[in-house]
Copies of this chain bind each other. A is one copy, B any other.
Amino acid sequence: MNATGKISETRKLIDAARHEGLRVGFVPTMGALHAGHVSLIERARAENGFVVVSIFVNPTQFGANEDLSKYPRTFADDLEACMAAGADLVFHPDADEMYPPDATTTIHVAGVTEPMEGEHRPGHFDGVALVCAKLFNIVGACSAYFGEKDAQQVRVIERVVMDLDLPVEVVRCETVRDQDGLALSSRNRYLSGDERKRALSLSRALRSVESGVANGQRSASVLLDEARQLLDADAVDYFEIVDPTTLACVETVNGPVLVCGAIRIGATRLIDNITVGGRLT
């Protein structure tokens, strides 16, 4: 496995692989890798001849009061995890390599960026769009693997790929959960034992909507009222049932919908979602 912080070296190694006729699979990450990331790398490995993982804690997607400075950095462990999962190349630029001081270009996506995370993290998805466009242009034509845990992010990235004609196939991968139902997240390591117990309320609330739908309830407001009783109202940023494409709130569950929530546990903010009412195509 190769590892480099340089864009030029990354291009060279990927060009060489492509020249050999290998398909490229790409897993963009912010490091602090957990079993969710590992599952993305393993899937990329199974479906491609050359697997690139990027590790970059992207400053442009953090708000001024967010956790950029304390975001977990576990680089040595991350490299080992990449190697074990079968990555061929780890691209780990520093911020100056990605954002030279004279850069002035920004990307904005309207629509799917606006509800939910967009309301609570202004500017976040502009940062996501920019870093993904840059990473995709560095890596070139590829299949890119993203976890559905960040469902809104995946839809923003799909929008950027379509709207900018990027030669990228976005592959949505199922959320990986701990046995107790907590969706894996690099931010879970912020949680104390007690906080972790409280964090479980989010996946429980999601499952309550799933049960309600399974029992025939179709009214979003009824389903949400019930689910929200499982959450600490003061800690909820949002908890919604939305259209899986537009992310607009739905009134009635007819076909597959996303149930999405974000809660704050102490200083830690967690998000999670599930699809209910059918399978996404």
Interface of A toward B, CB cutoff 8 Å: 7, 11, 100, 103-112, 129-130, 133-134, 137-138, 140-141, 159-160, 162-167
Nearest B residue to A156, CB-CB: B105
How distant is the Cα of A130 from the Cα of B7 in the complex, in angstroms?
A: 23
Which B residues lie within 8 Å of A165 (CB)?
A: 7, 134, 137-138
Q: How far is the CB of A54 from chain B (nearest CB, A)?
A: 12
Count this chain's copies in the assembly.
2
Q: Which of B105, B141, B159 contacts A105 (CB 8 A)?
A: B159
How distant is the Cα of A113 from the Cα of B38 in the complex, in angstroms?
A: 42
When the two chains form their complex, are residues B167 and A137 in contact, meaning their CB atoms are under 8 A apart?
yes
- Interface of chain A: mostly helix, strand, loop or mixed: mixed
A-B contact pairs, 5 of them (CB 8 A): A105-B109, A106-B107, A134-B164, A134-B165, A140-B167
How distant is the Cα of A137 from the Cα of B141 in the complex, in angstroms?
A: 10
Nearest B residue to A109, CB-CB: B105
Which B residues lie within 8 Å of A160 (CB)?
A: 105
When the two chains form their complex, are residues A164 and B105 in contact, meaning their CB atoms are under 8 A apart?
yes
How distant is the Cα of A60 from the Cα of B266 in the complex, in angstroms?
A: 46
Q: How far is the CB of A247 from chain B (nearest CB, A)?
A: 12
Which B residues lie within 8 Å of A11 (CB)?
A: 167
When the two chains form their complex, are residues A129 and B111 in contact, meaning their CB atoms are under 8 A apart?
no
Q: How far is the CB of A224 from chain B (nearest CB, A)?
A: 27
How distant is the Cα of A138 from the Cα of B137 in the complex, in angstroms?
A: 12
Q: How far is the CB of A111 from chain B (nearest CB, A)?
A: 4
Q: How far is the CB of A267 from chain B (nearest CB, A)?
A: 33
